[in-house]
């Protein structure tokens, strides 16, 4: 929270949202080994959020090792040359801290939430695993089972996950964004210890990491701790850049899955923009106008009025490279997927042809601004936001420009983004229909 | 796409079911450094309680309004009335119809959530500080002047039924406590599935909704907590003007007896024929929110199934790789709710995993904790406590919860002291008194029945139903 906000800033912020307070409290340094450290002091509670953003994700994988970035994330908790497997978590929790981690197509993020009194212990633990990670063959096998269980939970036993994995794989013909982050089953079964070692050396170098610390901290002391624990870790040659650019899509692609499901699903994935693309704020507002809340267009038309869907959602991915803009429809049991697709298309064509109203733009802007504020009320939210902007959106300072960026979007820009991106030839459509229904239709 | 090391993440969370579960999750845990900031409590003549906490760090205001009652008062066979009513409150109220209400909220960047738990209907949300008058107007309209139109009910009810079907096509672990609670608390209001079932929702009419609203919603049942960037004096005036004239609920809040723990082990097998994994829930009746043994219980549960290195997760995930995760928790209500442990594993290793979970529970009873474990858990619970008490939203919810359960701020302010005072003997006592023995539990398994039926018989009598059944229990 922003306890040190001055009275003057409150007035500005409350009236026009022109400025995000706290920018002057952010301290950023690059250590001599290339590691970036960003510290944001926020002393509302006696805790710290410490996130290590590693610039590696499933886009860095090739056939045979899909899922390795995510598997590696699991292995980062499983022992070093100085500590047995399990010690990392045991020491961390005994010091009052909890942790988690996630992997996306672009990044792997390690998160610690700790009482500020344990800060130095956590620095030591993080430095140890970046420097001395080791791989116990028995632990690799057991962790393989854990990741397979995660895959069954999120993909194999989830119709949504199953369809999304196929849509993503279909949407790219060249770029490794086609890789499922959890990994293809045959690859999960086959990773080797050598794969892990190569990966560690290549991607877990300090010069490939950005460490964010937010909370009850003194910036000077914190940066001194970073120098003490992280700076001795040697840098490595930077990883090879991903060369492949996805060629422009020339026609709609489709994937149809027939499943023992009750609820048919439709997913639409359009090629969109990278995180650093200046069109991102306009795209975000467009997605809000289409799916954010009960007043949004797709919700009104498909859910409330035509009752052809039970929910309409969207998600914008914005990574290092141009990523996907997703729309998700869940349909009632027995619903006609073609009718739902036609209804969706009609709304997309309407926004391309006629744009949005000023009222809709204002509404989306206010939603975006208020949500932006909600997102930075916690130390977690701030650490996530700083990392996202620093690593994926061209620098942390842009976080503080976000409100102005939303303010600057015009109706014309929204229509341009819709026209350019939401073309049929730029999308992959995924349909998951219920086995029973399909049989009936086939007999007719 | 996205994958996590511990928590389950999906790309688009549409788990309606999960949102209800959140309301009965245990309170976040406490630390030395956290004391309740000053707030004002006002009781209006009609019984409405206002709780006001100024926090001027960001220009937002968060509210959390609860109407005592909730899903435990649903008429038998019509489960889901309280929950549907909660959703209908924002489908048209006062001068605004459903669309105009949604547009008004969105146009100022506001956010409103409606929900029901077993013991309350909850309306919460946040607005920019500049929109505080509108916020109070909308809240007052929702609670006092909801339109409750039949066409909105029809649409919402149909969609709710479809959401349940969609949930059955998704991560089945989200459904475990619905089956578990319905079977464990059969015949007791705590067994009511608050979200309703496919069958019960189909029965609900406008008359049911209106009757519930007349009988169980009113000023005497209302708690309104507001935290954020406002002047308490002005907010008190706005809320007093808005709520002081509101009628009382027509019915009194019925008392119910405490649920009885089950004494011998039995099994509910829910057939999910296409599932590649089995999802299991093992539980019995636990403790009430006000239970004085809270600190030792939290310490023990943290060690048993409440954190990554817990006994359960160490066995089922870290040591054996059988599962992506295993955990345990208490549902703390006015009366004792469930204590439960849950996990999942591939169909072929189901019995091995259940055996291991039960053996781990046995080990808790036979071995208990040692000083190192106790100290680790104390530090962990203390260290994580402030993270649940950081924002205005968390404080508004916290104030409402304290009021709802008749607890004082000592529940927060003295928690660190209580944790630090816990001795090994206290943990031994609560393990014996509260944590069930492995032969005194209900075991619920969702999975491929043909592959599991025989193996499950060794645990006790097996009752069977299908995932596609339109109810959460056989009754």
CA–CA separation, A296 and B102 (whole Å): 9
Q: Which residues, in sequence order, are CB contacts of B70 under 8 Å at separation 6+? A: B82, B116, B117, B118, B119, B120, B121, B194
The complex's ipTM? Answer: 0.89
Report domain extents, chain A: 7-230, 253-443
Mean pLDDT along residues B206-218? 98
Residue A110's closest chain B neighbor by CA?
B5
CA–CA separation, B220 and A120 (whole Å): 51
Quote the Cα angle for B244-B247-B248, to 5°: 110
Beta strands in A105-252 (DSSP E): 108-115, 209-215
Interchain proximity B103–A180, CB inside 8 Å: no
Which residues in chain B are closer than 8 Å to A384, comparing Cβ atoms? none
Are the beta carbons of A174 and A247 closer than 8 angstroms? yes
Interchain proximity A86–B314, CB inside 8 Å: yes
Are the beta carbons of A327 and A312 closer than 8 angstroms? yes
Write out pLDDT tens, residues B164-202.
999 999 999 999 999 999 999 999 999 999 999 999 999
First vs last C-alpha separation in chain A: 61
H, E, C per residue of chain B: CEEECCCCCCCCCCCHHHHHHHHCCCCCCCCCCCCCCCCEEEECCCCCEEEEEECCCCCEEEEEEEEECHHHHCCCCCCCHHHHHHHHCCCCECCECHHHHHHHHHHCCCEEEEEECCCEEEEEEEEEHHHHHHHHHHHHHHHHCECCCHHHHHHHHHHHHHHHHHHHCCCHHHHHHHHHHHHHCCCCHHHCCCCCCHHHHHHCCHHHHHHHHHHHCCHHHEEEEEEECCCHHHHHHHHHHHHCCCCCCCCCCCCCCCCCCCCCCEEEEEECCCCCEEEEEEEEECCCCCCCCHHHHHHHHHHHHHCCCCHHHHHHHHHCCCCCCEEEEEEECCCEEEEEEEEEEEHHHHHHHHHHHHHHHHHHHHHCCCHHHHHHHHHHHHHHHHHHCCCHHHHHHHHHHHHHCCCCCHHHHCHHHHHHHCCHHHHHHHHHHCCCCCCCCEEEEEECHHHHHHHHHHHCCEEEEECCCCCCCCC
Which residues in chain A are closer than 8 Å to B380, comparing Cβ atoms? 93-94, 96-98
> Tokens 């004002």 sit at which residue?
B40
Count chain A–chain B contacts defined by CB atoms under 8 A: 270
Is residue A312 within a helix (H) or strand (E), and if so which, with residue range? strand A311-316
In the predicted model, is pLDDT for residue B291 greater than 90?
yes
Mean pLDDT along residues B198-209? 98
B105 touches chain A (CB under 8 A): yes
Which residues in chain B are closer than 8 Å to A154, comparing Cβ atoms? 3, 8-10, 171
Number of residues in chain B: 475
B102 touches chain A (CB under 8 A): yes
The predicted pLDDT at position B445 comes to 98
Write out pLDDT tens, residues B46-86.
999 999 999 998 889 999 999 999 999 999 989 999 999 99
Residue A71's closest chain B neighbor by CA?
B5
Which residues in chain A are closer than 8 Å to B4, comparing Cβ atoms? 100-103, 150
The predicted pLDDT at position A11 comes to 30
CA atoms within 13 A on the CB side of A172: 22
Report domain extents, chain B: 16-243, 266-466
Q: What is the CATH number of domain A7-230?
A: 3.30.830.10
Choose the catalytic residue: A73, A284, A360, A390: A73
The predicted pLDDT at position A21 comes to 63
Q: Of B2, B3, B302, which to mutate for an interface test with A (greatest number of A Cβ within 10 Å)?
A: B3
Give the distance from residue A398's alpha carbon to the nearest chain B alpha carbon, in angstroms: 20
> Tokens 């916290």 sit at which residue?
B398
CA–CA separation, B191 and B472 (whole Å): 10
The predicted pLDDT at position A373 comes to 87
In the predicted model, is pLDDT for residue B203 greater than 90?
yes
Interchain proximity B166–A330, CB inside 8 Å: yes
Among residues 432-451 of chain B, which lie with CB inside 8 Å of chain A?
none
Are the beta carbons of B201 and B270 closer than 8 angstroms? no
Widest CA span in chain B: 66
The predicted pLDDT at position A25 comes to 85
Which residues in chain A are closer than 8 Å to B158, comparing Cβ atoms? 307, 332
In the predicted model, is pLDDT for residue B452 greater than 50?
yes
Quick check: is A407 catalytic? Answer: no
CA–CA separation, A60 and A79 (whole Å): 24
The predicted pLDDT at position B236 comes to 98
Span of A218-232, A365-379, B65-79, B243-257 with lowest mean pLDDT: A365-379
Mean pLDDT computed over every residue of chain A: 92
Give the distance from residue A32's alpha carbon to the nearest chain B alpha carbon, in angstroms: 31
DSSP string computed for A179-202: S-TT--HHHHTT--HHHHHHHHHH
Give the distance from residue B245's alpha carbon to the nearest chain A alpha carbon, in angstroms: 30
Are the beta carbons of A355 and A418 closer than 8 angstroms? yes
Torsional class of A280: left (φ above 0), alpha (ψ -120 to 50), beta (otherwise): alpha
- Of the candidates A393, A38, A55, A28, the residue with the CA atom closest to the CA atom of residue A208: A55
* Dihedral Cα B381, B387, B392, B394, nearest 10 deg: -50
The sign one gets for the Cα dihedral A128, A133, A138, A139 is positive
Are the beta carbons of A84 and A344 closer than 8 angstroms? no
Are the beta carbons of B120 and B253 closer than 8 angstroms? no
Interchain proximity A374–B126, CB inside 8 Å: yes
Closest to A1 (Cβ–Cβ): which among B8, B58, B275? Answer: B58
Interchain proximity B2–A378, CB inside 8 Å: no
pLDDT bracket for residue A24 (50, 70, 90): confident
Residue B90's closest chain A neighbor by CA?
A294
> Tokens 């209580």 sit at which residue?
B418
* Dihedral Cα A202, A205, A210, A216, nearest 10 deg: 140
CA–CA separation, A390 and A282 (whole Å): 20
CA–CA separation, A417 and A272 (whole Å): 9
CA–CA separation, A403 and A20 (whole Å): 8
Coil, strand, or helix at residue A42?
coil
Write out pLDDT tens, residues A380-431.
999 999 999 999 999 999 999 999 999 999 999 999 999 999 999 999 999 9
Are the beta carbons of B313 and B360 closer than 8 angstroms? no
The CB density around residue A424, as the number of other CB atoms within 10 Å, is 14
Mean pLDDT along residues A251-264? 94
CA–CA separation, A385 and A399 (whole Å): 7
Among residues 397-426 of chain B, which lie with CB inside 8 Å of chain A?
none
Phi, psi of B273 (to 5 degrees): -65, -25
CA–CA separation, A353 and A346 (whole Å): 10
pTM for the predicted model, two decimal places:
0.91
Mean pLDDT computed over every residue of chain B: 92
CA–CA separation, B400 and A434 (whole Å): 43
Interchain proximity B387–A45, CB inside 8 Å: yes
Closest to A182 (Cβ–Cβ): which among B3, B7, B109? Answer: B3
- Of the candidates B224, B123, B228, B398, the residue with the CA atom closest to the CA atom of residue A377: B228
Quote the Cα angle for B54-B59-B65, to 5°: 55
CATH class of A253-443: alpha beta
Q: What is the CATH number of domain B266-466?
A: 3.30.830.10
In chain B, % of residues over pLDDT 90: 91
The sign one gets for the Cα dihedral A282, A287, A290, A296 is negative
**B266-466 shares the fold of B16-243:** yes
In the predicted model, is pLDDT for residue A1 greater than 50?
no
Which residues in chain A are closer than 8 Å to B110, comparing Cβ atoms? 370
Interchain proximity A181–B2, CB inside 8 Å: yes
Which residues in chain B are closer than 8 Å to A104, comparing Cβ atoms? 1-2
Which residues in chain A are closer than 8 Å to B28, comparing Cβ atoms? none
pLDDT bracket for residue A9 (50, 70, 90): very low
CA–CA separation, B231 and B239 (whole Å): 12
Q: Which residues, in sequence order, are CB contacts of A198 under 8 Å at separation 6+? A: none
In the predicted model, is pLDDT for residue A56 greater than 90?
yes
Write out pLDDT tens, residues B341-387.
999 999 999 999 999 999 999 999 999 999 999 999 999 999 999 99
Residue A366's closest chain B neighbor by CA?
B109
> Tokens 């805790």 sit at which residue?
A47
Closest to B109 (Cβ–Cβ): which among A114, A359, A367? Answer: A367
The CB density around residue A74, as the number of other CB atoms within 10 Å, is 22
Burial (0-12, 13-18, 19+ Cβ within 10 Å), B464: middle
Write out pLDDT tens, residues B459-469.
999 999 999 99
Mean pLDDT along residues B1-28? 33
Are the beta carbons of B51 and B399 closer than 8 angstroms? yes
Mean pLDDT along residues A270-285? 98
Are the beta carbons of B143 and B224 closer than 8 angstroms? no
The one-character DSSP state at A294 is T
Coil, strand, or helix at residue A104?
strand
B323 touches chain A (CB under 8 A): yes
B227 touches chain A (CB under 8 A): no
Number of residues in chain A: 444
CATH topology of domain B16-243: Cytochrome Bc1 Complex; Chain A, domain 1 (3.30.830)
- Of the candidates B287, B286, B278, B282, the residue with the CA atom closest to the CA atom of residue B266: B282
In the predicted model, is pLDDT for residue B17 greater than 60?
no
Which residues in chain B are closer than 8 Å to A74, comparing Cβ atoms? 5
The predicted pLDDT at position B475 comes to 62
Q: Of A158, A258, A263, which to mutate for an interface test with B (greatest number of B Cβ within 10 Å)?
A: A263
The sign one gets for the Cα dihedral A45, A47, A48, A49 is negative
CA–CA separation, B303 and B306 (whole Å): 6
First vs last C-alpha separation in chain B: 41
Mean pLDDT along residues B145-174? 96
pLDDT bracket for residue A13 (50, 70, 90): very low
B278 touches chain A (CB under 8 A): no
- What does each C-alpha distance from A405 to A22, A398, B57, B110 come to in angstroms? 18, 9, 23, 20
């Amino acid at each position: 929270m922003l306890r040190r906000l001055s009275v003057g800033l409150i007035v500005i912020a409350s009236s026009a949202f022109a400025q995000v307070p706290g920018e002057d409290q952010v301290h950023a340094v690059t250590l001599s080994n290339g590691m970036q450290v960003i510290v944001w002091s926020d002393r509302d509670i006696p805790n710290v959020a410490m996130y290590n953003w590693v610039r590696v994700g499933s886009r860095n994988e090739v056939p045979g090792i899909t899922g390795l970035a995510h598997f590696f994330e699991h292995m980062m908790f499983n022992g070093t040359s100085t500590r047995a497997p399990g010690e990392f978590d045991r020491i961390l929790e005994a010091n009052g801290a909890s942790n988690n981690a996630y992997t996306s197509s672009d990044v792997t993020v390690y998160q610690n939430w700790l009482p500020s009194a344990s800060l130095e212990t956590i620095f030591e633990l993080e430095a140890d695993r970046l420097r001395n990670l080791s791989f116990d063959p028995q632990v690799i096998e057991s962790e393989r089972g854990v990741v397979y269980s995660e895959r069954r939970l999120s993909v194999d036993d989830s119709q949504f996950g199953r369809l999304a994995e196929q849509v993503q794989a279909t949407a790219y013909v060249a770029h490794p964004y086609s890789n499922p982050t959890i990994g293809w089953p045959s690859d999960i079964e086959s990773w080797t210890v050598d794969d892990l070692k190569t990966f560690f050396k290549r991607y877990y170098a300090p010069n490939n990491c950005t460490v964010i610390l937010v909370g009850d901290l003194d910036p000077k002391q914190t940066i001194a701790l970073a120098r003490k624990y992280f700076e001795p870790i040697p840098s490595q040659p930077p990883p090879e850049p991903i060369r492949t650019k996805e060629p422009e899509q020339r026609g709609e692609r489709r994937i149809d899955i027939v499943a023992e499901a009750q609820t048919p699903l439709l997913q639409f994935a359009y090629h969109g923009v990278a995180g650093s693309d200046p069109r991102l704020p306009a795209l975000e507002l467009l997605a809000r106008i289409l799916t954010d809340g009960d007043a949004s267009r797709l919700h009104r038309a498909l859910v409330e009025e035509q009752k052809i869907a039970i929910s309409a959602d969207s998600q914008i991915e914005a990574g290092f490279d141009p990523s996907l803009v997703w729309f998700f429809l869940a349909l009632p049991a027995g619903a006609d997927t073609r009718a739902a697709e036609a209804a969706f298309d009609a709304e997309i064509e309407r926004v391309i042809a006629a744009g949005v109203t000023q009222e809709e733009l204002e509404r989306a802007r206010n939603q975006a601004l208020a949500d932006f504020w909600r997102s930075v009320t916690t130390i977690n939210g701030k650490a996530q936001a700083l990392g996202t902007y620093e690593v994926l959106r061209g620098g942390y300072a842009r976080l503080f420009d976000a409100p102005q960026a939303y303010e600057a979007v015009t109706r014309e820009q929204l229509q341009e983004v819709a026209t350019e991106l939401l073309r049929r030839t730029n999308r992959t459509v995924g349909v998951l229909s219920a086995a029973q229904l399909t049989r009936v239709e086939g007999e007719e | 796409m996205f994958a996590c090391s511990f928590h389950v993440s999906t790309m688009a969370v549409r788990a309606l079911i999960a949102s209800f579960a959140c309301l009965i999750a245990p309170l976040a845990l406490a630390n030395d450094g956290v004391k309740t900031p000053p707030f004002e409590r006002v009781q209006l003549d009609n019984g409405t309680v206002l709780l006001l906490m100024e926090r001027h760090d960001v220009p937002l205001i968060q509210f959390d309004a609860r109407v005592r009652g909730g899903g435990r008062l649903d008429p038998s066979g019509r489960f889901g009335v309280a929950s549907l009513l909660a959703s209908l409150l924002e489908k048209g109220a006062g001068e605004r119809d459903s669309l105009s209400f949604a547009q008004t909220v969105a146009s100022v960047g506001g956010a409103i959530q409606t929900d029901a738990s077993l013991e309350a209907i909850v309306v919460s949300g946040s607005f920019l500080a500049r929109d505080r008058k509108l916020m109070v107007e909308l809240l007052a309209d929702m609670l006092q002047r909801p339109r409750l139109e039949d066409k909105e009910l029809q649409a919402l009810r149909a969609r709710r039924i479809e959401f349940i079907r969609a949930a059955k096509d998704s991560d089945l672990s989200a459904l475990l406590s619905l089956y578990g609670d319905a079977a464990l608390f059969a015949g007791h209001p705590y067994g009511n599935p608050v979200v309703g079932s496919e069958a019960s929702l189909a029965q609900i009419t406008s008359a049911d909704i209106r009757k519930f609203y007349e009988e169980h919603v009113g000023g005497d049942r209302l708690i309104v907590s507001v935290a954020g960037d406002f002047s308490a004096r002005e907010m008190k005036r706005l809320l007093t003007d808005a709520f002081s004239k509101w009628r009382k609920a027509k019915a009194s809040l019925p008392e119910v007896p405490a649920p009885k723990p089950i004494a011998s082990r039995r099994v509910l097998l829910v057939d999910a024929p296409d599932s590649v994994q089995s999802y299991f829930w093992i539980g019995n009746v636990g403790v009430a929110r006000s239970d004085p043994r809270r600190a030792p219980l939290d310490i023990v549960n943290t060690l048993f199934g409440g954190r990554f290195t817990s006994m359960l997760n160490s066995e089922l995930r870290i040591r054996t790789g059988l599962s992506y995760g295993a955990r345990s928790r208490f549902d703390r209500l006015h009366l004792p709710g469930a204590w439960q442990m849950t996990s999942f594993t591939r169909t072929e290793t189901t019995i091995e995993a259940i055996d291991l979970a039960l053996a781990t529970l046995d080990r808790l009873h036979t071995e208990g904790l040692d000083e190192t474990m106790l100290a680790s858990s104390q530090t962990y619970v203390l260290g994580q406590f402030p993270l649940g008490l950081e924002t205005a939203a968390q404080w508004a919810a916290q104030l409402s919860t304290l009021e709802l359960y008749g607890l004082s701020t000592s529940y927060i302010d003295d928690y660190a002291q209580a944790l630090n005072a816990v001795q090994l003997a206290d943990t031994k006592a609560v393990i014996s008194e509260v944590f069930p023995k492995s032969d005194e539990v209900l075991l619920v398994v969702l999975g491929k029945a043909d592959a599991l039926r025989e193996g499950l018989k060794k645990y006790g009598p097996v009752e069977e139903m299908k995932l596609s059944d339109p109810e959460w229990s056989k009754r």
